[in-house]
Chain A
Amino acid sequence: MTTDGTRSDYQQRLILALRLKDVPGDRIGEIVAEVESHVAETGEDPVEAFGSPRQYAASLTAEHRPDPKWVTAVSLVGSGLAGWLVAQGGLAVLLGESYWGQSGWLWLGLGLAIGVPGGVSVWRRSTRVRDPRTGGDLEPFSPGGLVVLIGSPIVVVLLAFAAIKIFG
């Protein structure tokens, strides 16, 4: 909604700072629209009027407790383990071999069982940042990012499979 068609650096950093504080997407949209509207009206510098994006996000979420650190640690380790199991299981299935004496399907299933709940919770938290003025998205959706996220592990497994078939 800015005049040059691109969202300013301040607004992008504010969206990120609020995302990191687990603020819901609709609420982020409201906050960012308020800043834009106020700054456009007054001609003030956003940092002057609202403080730095990190400060403003922190002041808005002072009463809200973020997830404890162990939750982040568990989800990081869980997603790493899930990815590893899916890759090993997938490769074993493709090669028709077992892995650690068990069918590849078992490891693949286990990896999905660990990874899918975490993925769903991340997806739930990443609600759209809706602009309350237009109903449009404040953050452009990037299909490229999704392709990289889902595609790259598949490519890695397929490359490993091809390498084993050719050189193995």
Chain B
Amino acid sequence: METDETPTEWLRAVLSLTVLAIVAEGETYGYVVAQRLQAAGLGTVKGGTLYPVLNRLEDAGLLTSSWREGVGGPGRKFFAVTPEGREHLATRTAAWHSFTERATGLLPTERSTT
């Protein structure tokens, strides 16, 4: 789950919001969400971490899920965002940006550390 420079707790803090953002782009299922997170450079998120996050979002009413038949294999559980999920994503994204800006304001610039 951890890339070279990224501590695990950073990912833990932002995983739920990034997963919500991926599903908000379009209905999708667990494996694709994991691939998207990896492609974005957030590292490998294992099934044992990802599905509890998806289910918590669903329990909170931010996502809905439905099983669809797979081709030649077991079905896939598709997740879709709810209107509440979209609203939550917008407010939390704004909060995340202001939070990271404040943190960045405290940190030395990259040039000054080298």
Binding site for B on A (CB under 8 A): 1-2, 30-31, 33-42, 44, 48-51, 55-56, 59-60, 132-133
Contacts of A34 in B (CB 8 A): 30, 47, 51, 77
Contact of A37 (CB < 8 Å), options: B34, B46, B77: B77
Q: How far is the CA of A51 from the CA of B48 in the complex (A)?
A: 7
Q: Given A40-B70, A132-B77, list of 11 further CB < 8 A pairs?
A: A2-B74, A33-B75, A34-B30, A35-B47, A35-B51, A37-B29, A37-B77, A40-B74, A41-B30, A49-B46, A51-B48
Number of A-B contacts (CB under 8 A): 60
Is the CB–CB distance between B48 and A1 below 8 Å? no
Binding site for A on B (CB under 8 A): 29-31, 34, 46-48, 51-52, 55, 67, 69-70, 73-77
A33-B74, A133-B75 known; A38+B47 contact, CB < 8 A: yes
Is the CB–CB distance between B67 and A49 below 8 Å? no
Contacts of A59 in B (CB 8 A): 48, 52
Contacts of B29 in A (CB 8 A): 37
A33-B77, A37-B76 known; A56+B67 contact, CB < 8 A: no
Nearest 9 Cβ contacts at the A-B interface = A50-B48, A133-B75, A49-B47, A41-B31, A38-B47, A1-B74, A40-B73, A133-B67, A37-B74
